[in-house]
Amino acid sequence: MSAELSETDIDVGLYRVLGDDGRVDATRDPGVPKDVLLRAYREMRRLRVLDARMILLQRQGRVGFYGACTGQEATPIATGLVAREADWVFPALREQSVMLVRGFPLTQFVAQVFGNSGDVLKGRQMPSHQSGRSVNQVTWSSNIGPQIPQAVGAAMAMKAKKTGALAFGFMGDGATSQPDFHTAMLFAKRFAAPCVLVCQNNHWSISVPTARQTAARTIAVKGRAYGVPAVRVDGNDFLAVYKVLGDAARRAREGGGPTFVECLTYRIGAHSTSDDPTRYRSDAEVEAWKKKDPIDRLRRHLSVMGYIDDALEKAIDEEATAEVAQAVKAVEEMPALPRRSIFEDVYAEMPWNLREQAEALEKLPPAPSHG
Ligand SMILES: Cc1ncc(C[n+]2csc(CCOP(=O)(O)OP(=O)(O)O)c2C)c(N)n1
């Protein structure tokens, strides 16, 4: 992964469309319409605001855990815009927002962070593991890797049923060291599964830098080893990611099988609220990546195109802040789930031993958070 490798080398070449100044490489301009670009910008801003607010809530003890996507917003937002209604999404820790772009209500999304009565999952999943049947998004299972073969398996089923849909499967760079990644690539290619497998290479697996955990020249080559076409793209360049994911999705829909996309990006914040990144990486590294921020870059492009001015930018920010604040307020006003709910949804008729336990639980004094 050393920086001195030639950028024209097929194994390390990086697909970029947007320059740092926000100008488009004319030979690669994907011609994304103005409304899509503005929508992408709004979604990325809202996600940034949402993540910051969730981290704050965790610090205040109002929610238990959070894993933010800050700095990596371009890929989940582009995925949400590229996906069609019948497609399925198998996220890792930082791609839950795809479902927001696909129409899942923000309030219900936030309720899954609190795990109260507004949460359709009844508080049985951790925060940052949102899912939604209405938008075909599967919950992440927390251990690293299983969602990749799940995405491939779902894609194989879609192919067998001739649905014309595809599956998006996500992973971090660390997940590509897991056996599940290799199984997934093998099956994806062998059965020409209609899927787009996306690695958000944010350079760190908690405290382990990518260069220390793999001897592969890049992450993308690992897909090519299985015959899966692989693209290495600047993950902070919304236009490049949108174009590459759109092409990959089209190929899958047309029967061309899987594509593996390595999005080069950076996790600006901590791995999660349980992590202190100052223990293993330098401020200088973080500051250098902040200069490559995907939202700032898209903002510059919108300016160059004459699509945004300061007033519109301010309005978008205020709208996002108000929307998130309103959702948090609404969710915090929802009551906690009844304790008894932990016994529900498993048996049609509750066995006697569980009934006894449920009755014993009811007799305990209320937990402090229940007021
Ligand atoms: C099988 C398994 N091993 C270890 C862990 C602990 N763990 C949680 S996140 C993580 C790092 C994941 O890194 P990466 O795949 O690069 O994704 P990122 O968090 O950087 O987005 C690890 C090792 C786990 N959850 N599951």
CA of 202 to the centre of ligand 1 (A): 12
- Mean pLDDT value across residues 99-109: 98
53 catalytic, yes or no?
Answer: no
Among 366, 297, 340, 327, smallest CA distance to 53 is for: 327
> What are 167's strand-pairing partners?
88, 195
pLDDT value of residue 78:
98
- Mean pLDDT value across residues 116-142: 96
Residue 58 near residue 67 (C-beta atoms within 8 A): no
pLDDT value of residue 105:
98
Determine the atom of ligand 1 nearest the C-alpha atom of 143.
26
CA of 38 to the centre of ligand 1 (A): 33
pLDDT value of residue 227:
96
On the question of pLDDT at 4 being above 70, the answer is no
Q: What is the mean pLDDT of the chain?
A: 95
Determine the atom of ligand 1 nearest the C-alpha atom of 175.
15
On the question of pLDDT at 196 being above 60, the answer is yes
The residue whose CA is least distant from atom 26 of ligand 1 is: 143
Q: Which of 45, 267, 299, 301 is catalytic?
A: 267
- Mean pLDDT value across residues 202-229: 96
pLDDT value of residue 5:
45
CA of 308 to the centre of ligand 1 (A): 38
Query: Which H or E run includes 89?
Result: strand 88-90
The residue whose CA is least distant from atom 17 of ligand 1 is: 172
CA of 144 to the centre of ligand 1 (A): 5
On the question of pLDDT at 366 being above 90, the answer is no
**Residue 6 banded pLDDT, cuts 50, 70, 90:** low
- Mean pLDDT value across residues 343-366: 93
Among 263, 259, 172, 183, smallest CA distance to 214 is for: 172
pLDDT value of residue 130:
97
Residue type, 136: N
Report H helices in 60-124.
74-82, 98-101, 106-114
Among 233, 163, 241, smallest CA distance to 195 is for: 163
pLDDT value of residue 20:
84
271 catalytic, yes or no?
Answer: yes
On the question of pLDDT at 90 being above 60, the answer is yes
**Residue 3 banded pLDDT, cuts 50, 70, 90:** very low
Is residue 218 helix, strand or coil?
A: coil
pLDDT value of residue 104:
98
Domains and CATH numbers, the chain: 26-337 (3.40.50.970), 342-371 (no CATH)
Q: Is 274 in the pocket of ligand 1 (CB under 6 A)?
A: no
Q: Is 129 in the pocket of ligand 1 (CB under 6 A)?
A: no
Cα–Cα dist 99/93, whole Å: 13
267 catalytic, yes or no?
Answer: yes
CA of 267 to the centre of ligand 1 (A): 13
pLDDT value of residue 13:
87
- Mean pLDDT value across residues 290-305: 97
- Mean pLDDT value across residues 131-156: 97
Q: What angle do CA 50, 123, 136 make, to 5 degrees?
A: 70
**Residue 367 banded pLDDT, cuts 50, 70, 90:** confident
CA of 68 to the centre of ligand 1 (A): 14
Determine the atom of ligand 1 nearest the C-alpha atom of 206.
11
Pocket test of ligand 1: the residue of 75, 141, 178, 205 to mutate, having most ligand atoms within 8 Å of its CB, is 205
Q: Which of 124, 212, 280, 340 is catalytic?
A: 280
**What percent of the chain clears pLDDT 70, i.e. is strictly above it?**
96
> What are 28's strand-pairing partners?
none
* Interhelix angle 179-190/147-160, nearest 10 degrees: 20
The residue whose CA is least distant from atom 13 of ligand 1 is: 205
Pocket test of ligand 1: the residue of 144, 212, 275 to mutate, having most ligand atoms within 8 Å of its CB, is 144
Cα–Cα dist 62/273, whole Å: 13
Q: Is 234 in the pocket of ligand 1 (CB under 6 A)?
A: no
pLDDT tens per residue across span 48-66: 999 999 999 999 999 999 9
pLDDT tens per residue across span 16-58: 999 988 899 999 999 999 999 999 999 999 999 999 999 999 9
Q: What angle do CA 101, 96, 336 make, to 5 degrees?
A: 105
Rg (Cα) of the chain, in Å, rounded? 21
Provide CB contacts within 8 A for 100, sequence distance 6+: 43, 46, 47, 80, 106, 109
**Residue 369 banded pLDDT, cuts 50, 70, 90:** low
Q: Is 143 in the pocket of ligand 1 (CB under 6 A)?
A: yes
pLDDT value of residue 22:
87
Residue 18 near residue 301 (C-beta atoms within 8 A): yes
Residue 138 near residue 150 (C-beta atoms within 8 A): yes
On the question of pLDDT at 236 being above 60, the answer is yes
Residue 263 near residue 200 (C-beta atoms within 8 A): yes
CA distances from 234 to 77, 113, 145, 231 (A): 15, 30, 23, 10
The residue whose CA is least distant from atom 21 of ligand 1 is: 172
pLDDT tens per residue across span 244-284: 999 999 999 999 999 999 999 999 999 999 999 999 999 99
Among 259, 226, 271, 263, smallest CA distance to 151 is for: 259
Among 135, 145, 39, 18, smallest CA distance to 92 is for: 145
CA of 150 to the centre of ligand 1 (A): 17
The residue whose CA is least distant from atom 20 of ligand 1 is: 205
